[in-house]
Amino acid sequence: MNTILLRLKITLVLITTIISFTCSEASAQSNIFRTLFHGGTYNSEAERQSLYASNAERPLGGLFAPGFTRTLTVLGGANYPSAGVRDIFESDFVSPTPAISGSLPSLSRNIDETGYAISFAFGRRHSNRLRSEIEVAVRGNDVNQTISGAGLGFSEQEDGSVNATSLMKNFIIEFDNQTLFTPYVGVGLGLSYIDVEFGEAIGVAGEATFQDEATAFSYQGIGGVATKLNSFSNFIVEYRFLGTSDVELGGGNGTAAYNTSTLFMGAMFEY
């Protein structure tokens, strides 16, 4: 739990830094992005809107049009694994040593319901309605060990973690309107590298006694609202559901899809 709290604090600091940056002048943001990424071909709002209108007339909303503006999205938030993922870690392991009362102490593991998530994405805006991006996201949840039994009381301690690193290609449709708030939906396809380790509580020098990894096909659904801060930046509140093909987790206790729900906050910059 302490590890999760630390990661959430780091995520909050990241989000605060992003918000501070987005409150700076749009012209200053534009100069920074042109310096870092050599962008800024379409410097004015009028140039961008002309490009978007032209792309909107092309097949697939200009998805393969040669002209576009660039986007950078940075998000942080909380990750909630599905009940199926949590159930994998709820099998009991019984100790061979009898407790004082003659009963056997039991050891069980469970995955924290709340973890952390961080996402970085570089993309292209093709029109006022369509954008696409390549995303790298990291999600993680702690695994806890609980020991209980007659004469032993009850104790719980951090025992490992379940982490997933995803590489996704996302397509997002925005519902452009005359307000500062733009709702959007999207879908993504890609791969996730899932890393599981536990047994740190009983391992030597805190080393995990079990480690496993797998790569799985991934898909996700996206829904959120972007709030326009200026012509170059938007504040984002977003929900994502990530699902994968079945993988074996938790030391062979079973197979399950790594399905999680994630609540994100952050910012998207256009340049």
- Give the amino acid at 198: F
Distance CA 131, CA 186 (A): 9
Distance CA 263, CA 79 (A): 7
Residue 261, domain member (yes or no):
yes
Range name among 130-139, 141-150, 181-190 with the lowest pLDDT average: 141-150
Residue 105, domain member (yes or no):
no
Note the pLDDT tens digit of each residue in 99-114.
Answer: 444 455 566 677 778 8
The token pair at 2 is: 């302490």
Residue 20, domain member (yes or no):
yes
Q: Is the pLDDT of residue 37 over 70?
A: no
Residue 200, domain member (yes or no):
yes
pLDDT-derived band at 225, boundaries 50, 70, 90: very high
Residue 27: CB atoms within 10 Å: 12
pTM attached to this predicted model? 0.72
Q: Is the pLDDT of residue 14 over 60?
A: no
Percent of the chain at pLDDT > 90 equals: 32
Contact between 125 and 94 (Cβ < 8 Å): no
Residue 97, domain member (yes or no):
no
Q: What are phi and psi of 33, to 5 degrees?
A: -70, -35
Residue 77, domain member (yes or no):
yes
**Strands 233-244, 246-249: parallel, antiparallel or unpaired by DSSP?**
unpaired
Residue 38: CB atoms within 10 Å: 10
Note the pLDDT tens digit of each residue in 63-96.
Answer: 666 667 789 999 999 999 987 777 766 654 444 4
Max CA-CA distance within the chain?
A: 80
CATH number of the domain enclosing 205: 2.40.160.20
Residue 54, domain member (yes or no):
yes
Q: How many domains does the chain have?
A: 1
Closest CA to 89 of 223, 198, 217: 198
Give me the domain span that covers residue 254: 2-85+114-142+161-270
The residue ranking higher by pLDDT, 125 or 231, is: 125
Residue 68, domain member (yes or no):
yes
If you average pLDDT over residues 244-271, what whole number do you get? 82
Contact between 218 and 191 (Cβ < 8 Å): yes
Distance CA 32, CA 41 (A): 14
- Give the amino acid at 151: G
